[in-house]
Structure 1
C-alpha cells in the first residue's frame, strides 16, 4: 500500500507526534509498504510537481526525528520554517501526497490534528485515514464536553467545574488537593496538582496559557490506569505508577520515569468493570477504529473514574497502547497493520 504517515504539526504535543510518526513509519516500511513520513505543517518542499514516484524513493524520511525531550517544545519560531508564511495548517504538497495514498496514518496528537479538523478536511476530500471521525475527535478533545457525555452514559468521572476565558475561582469553594487542567490539552501539558488554596490562581493562570477553557477537578487519590479499545473491544488494562509526582509530560515520555504494569494487578471483577467503562466511553462518544481511555481508582473504596478519552493514542517507545497490544501477542508492526485494517473497514 501507499501510505502517508502524518506527524508533527503545531500543537504542544508536536515532539511526541514526531516520535509516534517515526515509529509508525519504520514499522510500516518493515512490512513492505511504500511509506512517506510528513510533517503536516512543514510539508515537503519541491521545485517540481510531486508524483507517486516519491513513494518509491529509497530514502529515510524519519532520519532527522529526535527522541522526545523532557520539556514540551517551543513553537514560537515554527512559522519561520515555512516559505509561504505558514497560514495553512497543511504544509507544501501535504494534501497532494495524501490524495495519492491508499490511506493516511494519523500520528498526530493534540490541537490541529486530534481535534477533528484534519479529519473533517479529509472527509470532504475523500481521503481515507486511521482513527475515529471528525465529530468524535472534536468531542473527545474537549474534556468538559467529554465529561458531560460520560455522565449521560452512566460512566463515573471526577466532579469538576469549567472556567472560561480567564475566569477566576474562589479558592475557598474548591476541595484540596485538586487538579487544574486545560480543557483541550493532551499529554498532561497544562495540568497541575494544587494542594494549597494560595496556589490555585497561579495554576489557573498557567493553564490559561494553553487554552481559553480550564477545568478544576476533584483529585482522586489512588491508582492510575489506561485501557485501549480497538474496534469497540477493550484491550488488557495497563497500570501507570510514576516514580515521582503524577503522570505528567516528563513521566510519560522519559524512559525509566514510570513503572507500567500490563496486565494490571486487579481482580477479575474490577478488570471487567473498567474494561466495560472503556467500551462504554468509546460508544458514548461515537468513536470508531480505536482509542484509549484513562482511569483513576480511588485507594479507599476502589471506585473507578474515567478521566478522558484519547482518539489518537501515542505510538512512541514509551506509549501505552502498544504495550497493551503486546500482552495479547500483537507486535508493534501487527498493531499498525490492525489499526489500518479497522480504519479502512
Structure 2
C-alpha cells in the first residue's frame, strides 16, 4: 500500500478554499515548534495563491475568528489546546470547517494512555505500559524497566525520560508531572524507530529515524540537528507494506482522518510496536511528513493543499464554509 497521486492529488483552484486561517503558536510547551510550522504553512498557501491569514490563539481565538471570518481553518497548533480536540470543538461550534481529525479522534490520539488502551483492545501491538497518577504507584513499574516515563498528554517527546534503574523512576515521574495530568510508563523496545505519515487515507513511505542521542527526544527533533533520517527506510517491500498497513489501521482505529503520523519501534525479532499517533505533526524544515511527501513527488505547497482538501469533505461543509466552493462554481458557470 502506497500513496498514489492518481488516487490522491487532484488540481484544486485555490479559490475553492475561500479564506483560510492558519492557527499557530498557542500556549503549549510546543509553542515555538508550532510557530515555525504555522509560518511555513502560511507562506506555502500564499505562494499557491490561497487567501489566508495567521491567528495565534494567545491573542484571543474567538475574537480573531469573528474578525477574520475564515471559510476554513488549517490547524498548526501542537500539543494541548490545539491538538487535543479543544480547538476542534470550538470550530465545530462556530461552523468553521478545518483540516484533519475531529474532536473525538484528536482527544484520543493526544492521550497516549487511552490510545494504547484502544489499540490493545483491538489486538494491535503496543509496548506494555502503566498509568501513574500518584508517587506511591511507582513501585509497580519496576517490572517493566527499562522504560520511558512521559506525560500522557504531551507531544514532541516533551518531558520524556528513559529509565533503566528503579531509583531513577521518581525523578523521571516528577519531571513528567510538571506538564500536568497523568504520567505514562512505557516499556522500552530495543531496536530501530520508524514513522509513517498518513495523508487522506493513504500511507506515505516509512522513515527510519536514527538519533545520535539516547533516544529521539525533543532536542534530537528540533535542536541538535544530528539526527539521521533514512528514506528509503531500509525495510523489505513486504515489511514496509506491513508497517504502512499497521499505521493506517492504528490511525483509523482512533477515528483519525485527513493527515497525521504514527510512530513505531521494531524489536530484534522484526515485530513492530505502536508508540503514538500525531494528528497535527510538525511542518518545519526538518519535519517528517514533508520529508515523506517529497518522496512521492509532493512538494511542500502541494502537500499543504492536499492537507487542506480534507476540510472540503461533506462532513465539514457547514454554513459559511460553502462560500469558497460556491464562488468557484459561479465563476466556472459564468466562464461557460
Q: TM-score, normalised by structure 1?
A: 0.83
Residue 77 (structure 2) aligned to one of 101, 108, 131: 108
Tell me the residue number matched to 1:63: none
* Aligned counterparts of 1:175 and 1:305: Cα–Cα separation in 2: 15
Task: Report SS of the residue matched to 1:181.
Answer: strand
Q: Assess if the C-alpha contact under 8 Å between 2:74 and 2:308 holds in 1.
A: yes
Gaps of 5+ in 2: 1-17, 314-336
* Aligned counterparts of 1:167 and 1:129: Cα–Cα separation in 2: 42
CA offset digits 1:20-44 (Å, max 9, x no partner): 000001000111112211211125x
Gaps of 5+ in 1: 44-89
Q: 1:158-173 residue pairs with structure 2 within 5 A? A: 158-170=127-139, 173=142
Q: Assess if the C-alpha contact under 8 Å between 1:153 and 1:280 holds in 2.
A: no
Task: Report SS of the residue matched to 1:215.
Answer: strand
Aligned residues: 296
2:276 equivalent to 1:308: yes
Q: 1:70-219 residue pairs with structure 2 within 5 A? A: 90=61, 93-97=63-67, 100-170=69-139, 173-219=142-188
Tell me the residue number matched to 1:79: none
* Aligned counterparts of 2:199 and 2:75: Cα–Cα separation in 1: 15
Task: Report SS of the residue matched to 1:283.
Answer: helix
* Aligned counterparts of 2:278 and 2:224: Cα–Cα separation in 1: 21
Q: Give the drift of 1:124.
A: 1.2
Q: Give the drift of 1:139.
A: 0.6
* Aligned counterparts of 2:143 and 2:150: Cα–Cα separation in 1: 14
Q: Assess if the C-alpha contact under 8 Å between 2:72 and 2:311 holds in 1.
A: no
* Aligned counterparts of 1:157 and 1:310: Cα–Cα separation in 2: 15
Q: Give the drift of 1:95.
A: 2.2
CA offset digits 1:282-306 (Å, max 9, x no partner): 21011111111000001x2111001
CA offset digits 1:159-181 (Å, max 9, x no partner): 01111155541177333321101
Q: Give the drift of 1:200.
A: 0.8
Structure showing the higher helix proportion among its residues: 2
Q: TM-score, normalised by structure 2?
A: 0.85
Q: Assess if the C-alpha contact under 8 Å between 2:129 and 2:185 holds in 1.
A: yes
Tell me the residue number matched to 2:304: 336
Tell me the residue number matched to 1:317: 285
Task: Report SS of the residue matched to 2:138.
Answer: coil
CA offset digits 1:226-285 (Å, max 9, x no partner): 101112211100111111221111111136320011221101121011101111012101
* Aligned counterparts of 1:166 and 1:21: Cα–Cα separation in 2: 38
* Aligned counterparts of 2:295 and 2:155: Cα–Cα separation in 1: 25
Q: Which runs of 4+ in 1 moved over 6 A?
A: none
* Structure of greater relative contact order (alpha carbons < 8 Å, 6+ residues apart): 2
